[in-house]
Amino acid sequence: MKKTIFAFSTSILVMGGFSFLLADEPAVPFGLPALEHPEDNPPTPEKIELGKLLYFDPRLSRNNDISCATCHDPNKGWSNGEPNAAGFEGKRGDRNSPTVINSAYYTTQFWDGRAATLEHQALGPIANPIEMNMSLDEAIGRIQKSKGYQERFQQVFGSEPSPELVAKAIAAFERTVLSGNAPYDKYVAGDETAMSESAVRGWKLFKGAANCSACHSGANFTDNAFHNIGVGVKDGKNTDVGRFAVSNLEGDTGAFKTPTLREIARTGPYMHNGSMETLEEVVQHYNKGGNANPYLDEEIFELGLSEQDIADLVTFMKEGLSSEDYPLVEAPTDLPD
Amino acid sequence: MLKKAKRLAVLTGCLSLSLVCFAYGEEPEHETLVIDLDNPCGVLVHPETGKVYTASKLGVHCYTPADHKAVFEVSEFPEDIYGKGPKYDIGPLGLGLLNNEHLVVGDGSRPDGEELVRVYKLDGKKKSEGDAVYTLGPITAGEKSAKGEGNFYGVAVNESAIFVTCNGDDTKGWVSKADIVDGKPQELVPFIATKEATGTDAPVAITFTPDGSELVIGQMGEMNVANDSLLTFYDPGTGELKRSLKTELSDIAGLAYSPQTGKLYAVDFSWVDSTKGGLFELAVDGETVNATKIMSLDKPTSLAFDKEGQLYLTQFGSEVPEGAESAGSLIRVEPGL
C-alpha cells in the first residue's frame, strides 16, 4: 500500500525536549518518528473525533455492552488489565489484549500480525464471535440508524456509514494514541538527569548483556518481527502456533509480534497470553533462557543477570518508558443518538 | 564429505548456448555455469585471473571460465544450521580479496562467538580449512556482544582494512573490522553497531561505492518480515552513518556496482516469499531508493561483477537437478547491466 508520509518532524521544532507544533497536524511526541498515514486515509480532526466515538460505542457489539475500549481501556494502558479479556457473554480467547499505544507504528497488527494495517485490524474484533460478535452488516445497520452518525459520516467522508469507513475512522483515532517524551527520550537527547541511576544501569543492560534490544529496538522498542520466546510452552510444545498460522513458515511456530514497551508499567499482565503478572517475572523468564521448545529464538538464552540487574532493568522500563504525557483519553459523555 | 566433494558438478553443456542460455522475457541473457552447489552464499571474481570463487556449505570452490572447470580451493569446514524452518546447512559465507594474492573467507560454520575469518594464500593448491595464513576472530561474548558474534556473511576489503558483516548477534548488528598493517590483517574487532545506527537487524551485504569513499551495507532486516531491508552508507574510516534508506526489498543478501554503468545491484533472498526474490537495480534518488527487478532468482545469495561487466550470481535454488545432490548454482549474466 502506498503511504503518505506526513512530515510531522518538519512541522515541529524540538528544543530541549519540548515540541512546538507549527502546523495544523496531529502532534507526534518527542522521541517518536514521523507517522505514516495511508494515502487513502489522511487524518482530519473530524475523522479522529468520529473514530473516537465509534471506539467507545458499545452498539458495535451484539449485546450493546462491549466497545473497543472495553478490552483496550485508556485507563488500563489501552489494554484491560486481565490476562485474557472477557468478550461476548464473558467468553475469553487465548491471547492478551495488546495495547493500542503506538500501534500506529506497527507494520502489522494483532499478536500474529494477520492484519497489515489498523484499518484492517479495526473490524476484526467486531465480527469475532468471542469478542463483539456482530456481523459487519448488523453493526453498520445500527450506525445507519443513528442520525448523529449519519451526519458525521456525511461531514467526514461525504458518504453513508460503511464497514470500510468505520474502520478508517477508528484507525485514524488510534493513530493519535501515542506515547513518547518519556524520561528515556530526554536522557538519550542529552539530559543526564532525566533517569535515575538505576534506570540508566537498566538501559545499559537493556541494550547490552540483557540482550533486550535484539527485539525491542528503535524508538517504539519493537523490531516489528515475530519471535518464539518460550512462552506458552507445555511439555516442550507450543500451545499456540502464533505467526505460523499466517506465514505458514515452520520457523514461525509459537512466534508472536514484539510489542512496544512504551508505557509498559501500565499494560500488564504481560506476554501474548497474559501469563506474567509483573515485569520482574518477565525479566526472570528471559534470564533463565525462556522455556525450551524446537522453535525457540536463538536470541533467547541464559543471561546470568543478578537480582540487582533485574531490578535495574525493571526500573528502566517502568521509569524510563512512562511518559508524563500519557495518552489518557476520556470516554465521550454523549454518543450520537 | 569427500564423496560430496567429488560430486561438485559443472554443467558441461553450457558452452552450447542453445542448451543452457536463457532469456525470460525482458530478463538479461544468462547461463548456469555450476550446479550441485550446497547452499552457496558468497561469490568473488579475481580481477586479474578472472577466476570465480564461490563459498558453499562444503567449502570454497574455484571456477575457471577458460576451461569451464570447478575445483575445491578450500574444504573441510564444519557445518552450522541457519533458520528454524526452513533450515539451511551453512559453512563459509563471504569472500574477499587481500592484495590479490590472498582470499578472505568469512565463516558461518560454527556457533556465534566461535566463528572465524580465515585468510588463505591463492597458490593453486587445494587447502583445508586450517591451512589459513591468517585467522581472525573469534569475537567472543563480552561487553560488545552478549553472546558473541558470528555468521560473517559479507566481506569487503580496501587498502586499510578488512570489513566483515556479522549476522549473528541481533543486539548490535556489528560490522567488524581488521585493520591492515604492512599487508597483514590485525585483530578482528567490532566496528559499526549498525542496529543501533539504523534500528534494523542483520547487516549482510557489503561493498564500496565505486570511488571507495563509502561503505555500502545492505541491512537485511528480520527474516520473517517482508520489505524491511535497508540500503545504508557509512564512512569506512570513522564508521559514521551517512544515509539509511528504505528499499522495499525483503532480505538484501548481496550488493555490487556494475563497472560498466556504475549502477548498483542487489539480490533479494526474500525469505517470507521466495517467489519474490531476484536481482534488482537500486537507483538512489535523494532519500528514495527505486528497486527495479531485473530477473527472478530462486533464493539468491550473492553477486559479483568481473571487470568486463559480466555478473556472477549464486542462488540456493529449490529443485535439485538430475544427478546432483544440491539445488544451488552459479549463474553468469552477460555484460550490459
pLDDT of residue A325: 96
pLDDT of residue A6: 34
**ipTM given for this complex:** 0.87
The answer to whether residue B24 is domain-embedded is: no
Residue A23 sits in the same domain as residue A146: yes
Residue A125, pLDDT above cutoff 50: yes
Residue among A62, A77, A67 nearest A274 (CA): A77
Question: For residue A231, what pLDDT band results from cuts at 50, 70 and 90?
Answer: very high
The answer to whether residue B183 is domain-embedded is: yes
Q: Please compute, for residue A286, the number of CA atoms within 13 A of its CA located in the half-sphere on the CB side.
A: 27
In sequence order, what are the residues at sequence separation of 6 or more whose Cβ sits closer than 8 angstroms to the Cβ of residue B159? B180
Question: For residue A45, what pLDDT band results from cuts at 50, 70 and 90?
Answer: very high
Residue A167 sits in the same domain as residue A296: no
The answer to whether residue A292 is domain-embedded is: yes
Residue A36, pLDDT above cutoff 60: yes
- Chain A's closest residue to B271, CA to CA, is A249
> Is residue A131 annotated as part of the catalytic site, yes or no?
yes
Q: Rounded to an integer, what distance in angstroms lies between the CA atom of residue A42 and that of residue A257?
A: 26
The answer to whether residue B123 is domain-embedded is: yes
Residue A266 sits in the same domain as residue A295: yes
pLDDT of residue B10: 53
The answer to whether residue A70 is domain-embedded is: yes
| Chain A residues near residue B84 by CB distance under 8 angstroms | 228, 250-251, 253, 294-295, 297
pLDDT of residue A197: 98
pLDDT of residue B48: 95
The answer to whether residue B320 is domain-embedded is: no
The answer to whether residue A331 is domain-embedded is: no
Contact A214 B272 (CB under 8 A): no
pLDDT of residue B144: 92
pLDDT of residue B194: 96
Q: Rounded to an integer, what distance in angstroms lies between the CA atom of residue A120 and that of residue B4?
A: 50
Peptide bond into B65 cis (omega under 30): no
**Mind telling me how many Å the CA of A321 is from chain B's nearest CA?**
18
Contact A251 B195 (CB under 8 A): no
pLDDT of residue A88: 84
Residue A5, pLDDT above cutoff 70: no
Question: Which ranges constitute the DSSP H helices of chain B?
Answer: 2-6, 17-20, 194-198
The answer to whether residue A126 is domain-embedded is: yes
Contact A211 B171 (CB under 8 A): yes
| Chain A residues near residue B143 by CB distance under 8 angstroms | 208-209
Residue A17, pLDDT above cutoff 50: no
Residue among B152, B134, B181 nearest B42 (CA): B152
Residue-wise pLDDT tens digits, B144-182: 999 899 999 999 999 999 999 999 988 999 999 999 999
The answer to whether residue B121 is domain-embedded is: yes
Domain that holds residue A208: 183-320
pLDDT of residue B303: 98
The residue from A174, A205, A234 where one domain ends is A174
What beta strand segments (E) does B14-111 contain?
21-22, 30-37, 42-45, 52-56, 59-64, 69-75, 80-82, 88-90, 92-98, 102-107
The answer to whether residue A21 is domain-embedded is: yes
Q: Is residue A252 a contact partner of residue A243, using CB atoms and an 8 Å limit? A: yes
Interchain CB contacts (distance < 8 Å): A and B: 72
Q: Is residue A166 a contact partner of residue A140, using CB atoms and an 8 Å limit? A: yes
Residue A170 sits in the same domain as residue A38: yes
Mutate to test the interface with B, among A217, A228, A238, A297 (most CBs of B within 10 A): A217
Mean pLDDT for chain A overall: 91
| Chain centroid offset of residue A76 CA | 12
pLDDT of residue A180: 98
The answer to whether residue B31 is domain-embedded is: no
Contact A250 B84 (CB under 8 A): yes
Residue A160 sits in the same domain as residue A188: no
| Chain B residues near residue A204 by CB distance under 8 angstroms | none
Residue A282 sits in the same domain as residue A206: yes
Of A131, A174, A263, A319, catalytic: A131
The answer to whether residue B10 is domain-embedded is: no
The residue from A145, A174, A203 where one domain ends is A174
pLDDT of residue B25: 57
Long-range contacts of range B324-327, CB-CB < 8 Å, 24 or more positions apart? B324/B7, B324/B9, B324/B35, B324/B36, B325/B4, B325/B7, B325/B36, B325/B38, B326/B36, B326/B37, B326/B38, B326/B39, B326/B56, B327/B298
Mutate to test the interface with B, among A204, A207, A220 (most CBs of B within 10 A): A207
Mean pLDDT for chain B overall: 92
User: Residue B210: which CATH number?
Assistant: 2.130.10.10
Put simply, whether B222 touches A (Cβ < 8 Å) is yes
The shortest CB-CB distance from A214 to any of B85, B170, B200 is to B170
Residue-wise pLDDT tens digits, B95-110: 999 999 999 999 999 9
User: Residue A215: which CATH number?
Assistant: 1.10.760.10
The answer to whether residue B56 is domain-embedded is: yes
The answer to whether residue A28 is domain-embedded is: yes
Question: For residue B16, what pLDDT band results from cuts at 50, 70 and 90?
Answer: very low
pLDDT of residue B19: 32
Which grid coordinates belong to B60? 570454497
**Mind telling me how many Å the CA of A165 is from chain B's nearest CA?**
27
Q: Is residue B189 a contact partner of residue B131, using CB atoms and an 8 Å limit? A: no
Contact A295 B147 (CB under 8 A): no
The residue from A148, A174, A200 where one domain ends is A174
Could you give the number of structural domains in chain A?
Answer: 2
Question: For residue A25, what pLDDT band results from cuts at 50, 70 and 90?
Answer: low
The shortest CB-CB distance from A224 to any of B86, B147, B225 is to B225
Could you give the number of structural domains in chain B?
Answer: 1
Handedness of CA B206, B78, B221, B87 (dihedral sign): positive
Residue-wise pLDDT tens digits, B266-321: 999 999 999 999 999 999 999 999 999 999 999 999 999 999 999 999 999 999 99
Contact A295 B84 (CB under 8 A): yes
Residue A153 sits in the same domain as residue A268: no
Residue B6, pLDDT above cutoff 50: no
The answer to whether residue A329 is domain-embedded is: no
Residue A87 sits in the same domain as residue A235: no
Residue A185, pLDDT above cutoff 90: yes
pTM of the predicted protein model: 0.90
Residue-wise pLDDT tens digits, B197-254: 999 999 999 999 999 999 999 999 999 999 999 999 999 999 999 999 999 999 999 9
Residue A23 sits in the same domain as residue A76: yes
Residue-wise pLDDT tens digits, A70-124: 999 999 999 999 999 888 888 888 999 999 999 999 999 999 999 999 999 999 9
Residue A146 sits in the same domain as residue A231: no
Residue A10, pLDDT above cutoff 50: no
Residue A106 sits in the same domain as residue A251: no
| Chain B residues near residue A225 by CB distance under 8 angstroms | 201, 222, 224-225
Q: Rounded to an integer, what distance in angstroms lies between the CA atom of residue B295 and that of residue B28?
A: 7
| Chain B residues near residue A251 by CB distance under 8 angstroms | 83-87, 223-224
Domain that holds residue B113: 37-306
Residue A133 sits in the same domain as residue A252: no
Contact A224 B199 (CB under 8 A): no
Q: Rounded to an integer, what distance in angstroms lies between the CA atom of residue B36 and that of residue A102?
A: 48
